[in-house]
């Protein structure tokens, strides 16, 4: 959940700076977007360090499999495949040896 909060915060920062430069000051589209990206990165890196680290830990836990739900589903699926393969081999033993 921290990752979503951090991402939305950075997008809001980018949108605010972009809107101010592009619509408010009539700067070039690409210049306003570039400056918006740099400012959003710098502000979030400097002032939202705890949220950034929590978001990083959240992503690391999600991709390392610490969530557990994905592994349970994969284990159940593998067990069902093994059971189906064993049942097919019991019905026709020659089919499994090719």
Domain ranges of the chain: 2-67
Does this model's pTM top 0.75? no
Burial of 39 (0-12, 13-18, 19+ CB in 10 A): middle
pLDDT value at position 69?
A: 57
**Residue 96 — pLDDT band, cuts 50, 70, 90?**
low
* CA distance linking residue 78 with residue 44, whole number of Å: 42
Does residue 68 carry a pLDDT above 80?
A: no
């Amino acid at each position: 959940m921290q990752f979503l909060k951090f991402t939305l915060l950075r997008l809001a920062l980018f949108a605010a700076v972009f809107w101010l430069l592009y619509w408010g000051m009539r700067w070039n589209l690409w210049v306003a977007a570039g400056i918006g990206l740099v400012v959003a990165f710098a502000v979030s890196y400097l002032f939202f360090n705890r949220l950034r680290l929590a978001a990083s830990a959240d992503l690391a836990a999600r991709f390392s499999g610490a969530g557990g739900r994905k592994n349970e589903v994969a284990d159940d699926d593998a067990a069902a495949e093994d059971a189906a393969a064993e049942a097919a081999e019991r019905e026709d033993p020659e089919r499994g040896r090719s």
